[in-house]
Amino acid sequence: MNQELFHNVTRWFSANMERAESELHYDSPFHLLIAVILSAQCTDKRVNMYTPVIFKRFPEPEDLAAASFEEVYELIKSISFPNNKAKHLIGMASMLVSDFDSKVPSEPADLEKLPGVGRKTANVIASVIYGKAVIAVDTHVFRVSRRLGLSDGATVEAVEKDLTAGFAEELRGTAHHWLILHGRYVCTARKPKCQECGLQEFCREYKLNNLVL
């Protein structure tokens, strides 16, 4: 574990990205959970276009649990994988009502019991809503972490383990957003904007590609 690299990355982000938070719009833990489920393989911008109507129609878990598949599908049909997501949303709301007293649980292990909620989604909710010291690894976090050299992990779980060990506990939730936003706007998948990147001097892949010692 390269603690010097983690220190330098933390220092740069702290100075250059003071405001790092989810770009999903929400007004309650339940609505953030809906938005994160919908955001799987879909952009936050697109999800934000449709969630105001969804949130108005389903203000509480009971409302969504009582909805028909057709009703939910009609509201999310322009979002990726609407069939599965409609089923997951109704199942998630139903389990919140039946097993969690209509409250979004705070522990990742409990969140992962909900339909449509994997490890990444569980960690996002636990971190953003409840301030848990966990890091959610999505495609952006995975890519940026490996390019920078913060992790050599070949799996999401391995990268999460490295990031959890490398970032200070109180910074893990923020670090998640640092890496997502950097991957979304600078360290993009196909054409990373290396010449604009302030992390050039610390980035392992940049050094390798440009023979910087």
Asked about 132 being catalytic, the answer comes back as no
Catalytic pick among 138, 161, 162, 191: 138
Contact between 159 and 119 (Cβ < 8 Å): no
The angle formed by the CA atoms of residues 74, 59 and 101, to the nearest 5 degrees, is: 115
CA atoms within 13 A on the CB side of 6: 16
Contact 179, 136 (CB under 8 A): no
Task: Name the DSSP letter for residue 111.
Answer: H
CA distances from 9 to 171, 203, 212 (A): 12, 9, 18
CA-to-CA distance for 118 and 37, rounded, in angstroms?
A: 9
- Cα dist. 8→12, 173, 193 in Å? 6, 18, 19
**Residue 113 bears catalytic tag:** no
C-alpha span between 36 and 187 (Å, rounded)? 22
Give dist(CA 164, CA 150) in Å, integer. Answer: 11
Q: Which of 44, 85, 120, 162 is catalytic?
A: 120
Enzyme catalytic residues: 120, 138
